[in-house]
Amino acid sequence: MSEQLAVAARRQKVIAKRIVAALQRRNPVAARPSGLAFNRGALRVKRDVADPLDRLLRAYGFKNCGRAA
C-alpha cells in the first residue's frame, strides 16, 4: 500500500508541475487537462489507497483516522 501511495504522489507531483507551468505562461486553457488529470488521480488514490487503509485502521480499532470526527 505504501508503494502505491509513493507512485501516486510522484505522478501527482509531475501533473502539478504541468499545471504550474501552464499558469505561469498565463495559459489556463492548457492547465485544464492537467487539472482534470490531477483530480482523477486524487480520486484514484482515495479509492485505491486511502479507503482501504481506513478500513484496515477501523478494523484495528481506530476511528476516522486523520480526520476530524
pLDDT at 43: 93
Determine, yes or no, domain membership for 48.
yes
Domains held by the chain: number: 1
pLDDT at 4: 83
The angle at the Cα of 62, spanning 58 to 65, to the nearest 5 degrees, equals 90
49 touches 1 (CB < 8 A): yes
Determine, yes or no, domain membership for 67.
no
Determine, yes or no, domain membership for 7.
yes
Three-class HEC string of 9-60 = HHHHHHHHHHHHHHHHCCCHHHHHHHHHHHHHHHHHHHHHHHHHHHHHHHHH
Domain interval for residue 55:
2-60
Determine, yes or no, domain membership for 68.
no
Query: Residue ranges of the chain with pLDDT lower than 50?
Result: 68-69
Determine, yes or no, domain membership for 69.
no
Determine, yes or no, domain membership for 16.
yes
pLDDT at 64: 65
Q: Mean pLDDT, the chain, as a whole number?
A: 87
Determine, yes or no, domain membership for 65.
no
pLDDT at 66: 59
